[in-house]
Amino acid sequence: MSGMSRIVKTVTNITFPLVLIYGLYVIAHGHLTPGGGFQGGAVVASGLAMILVAYGSVWTMKKINEKHLSALESLGALGFIGLAFLGLIFGTWFFNNYLVGNEILFGEIGRGAANIYTAGVIPLMNFAVGLKVIAGLFAIVLVMAYATRLKEGK
């Protein structure tokens, strides 16, 4: 499908970074405020869908390499299950939260109850799940957009 008018494209250019930052904020603060991996990933994916609608599917598919999208998705999934298996090796139980109370990775970032290291493995798992959800939902939206070309092609 072709894109929309110049006004829509300009507004999309301005608002897409805001949507991106908001989505990443929801992912990163998932252990303190409502949110987390899936919710933030859905926000970013809807921002990407906004780009798809504004610029048209022909332009977007020229810019996106589907193999890279699939690789990102696998990376996110492997990060999640890899952290779970590391819980088996370091913490002697599967899915154990072995980073709670240790200062291995993060040290003192944030004050009081917002310390990252009080949540342990949870922020890392949020990032992995967020990456997978962004790639997965965007792939679904691309498939639906591809289907609209069938009607026009006939």
Partner 1 sequence: MNGELDLIAEMLKHSPALIVAIPLLGAFLTPLIGKINDKIRNAFAVFIVALTSFFVFLLANDILSNGSIHTYVFGGGPALTEGGFAVRILFEVDGMNAFMAIIASILALAGVIYSWAFMKENTGLDKYYTLILLMIAGMFGMILTGDMFNFFVFLEIASISACALIAFRTNQGKAVDAGFKYIVISAIGALLILFAIALLYSQYNALNMAVLAREIQLTFLDKIALALLIAGLAMKAGIVPMHMWLPDAYGRAPASVTILLVGATQASLYGALRMTSTLYGKNIIAVLKHVDFDLFGQSVVFDITLNGVLGFIILLLAILTIFIGVLMALKETNFKRMIAFAAIAEIGYMILAIGSAFLAVASIDTVTSSAILSQPGYMALKGGIFHILNDALDIGLLFLVAGAIYYATKETSLNKLGGLARNMKYTTIFFLIGLFAVAGMPPLNGFASKILIYESTYQVNPILSIIAILCSILLLAVFVKVFHSAFLGPKQEKFDNVKEAPKSMLIAMGIIACLIIFIGLFPEYVLNNIVTPAADALVNFGNYIHEVDSNYVISLIGGF
Partner 2 sequence: MIYQIPYIAVVALILIGLYAIIFRRNLIKMVIGITLIESGVNLFLITLAFQKDSTAPIYHGSETGLTMSLPVPHALTLTSIVIGVAVTALMLTLVIHIYKHYQTLDARKIGMEGDEE
Contact residues for partner 2 (CB under 8 A)? Answer: 32-34, 38-39, 113-114, 137, 140, 143-144, 147, 150
Nearer to partner 1 by Cβ, of 78 and 144: the residue is 78
Is 80 in contact with 129 (CB distance < 8 Å)?
yes
- Interhelix angle 122-153/37-55, nearest 10 degrees: 30
Task: Write out the binding residues for partner 1, residues 80-99 only, by CB under 8 A.
Answer: 81, 84-85, 87-88, 91-97
98 DSSP assignment:
T
Task: Compare residues 13 and 33 and give the one whose CB is closer to partner 2.
Answer: 33
Tokens 């929801």 sit on residue: 26
Taking alpha carbons only, the member of 65, 94, 62 closest to residue 80 is 94
Task: Report the nearest approach of partner 1 to the CB of residue 8 (Å).
Answer: 34
User: Which one of 22-30, 36-44, 57-65, 67-75 is the stretch in contact with partner 1 (CB under 8 A)?
Assistant: 67-75
Q: What are phi and psi of 2, to 5 degrees?
A: -90, 165
> Residue numbers of the site for partner 1 (CB under 8 A)?
67, 70-71, 73-74, 77-78, 81, 84-85, 87-88, 91-97
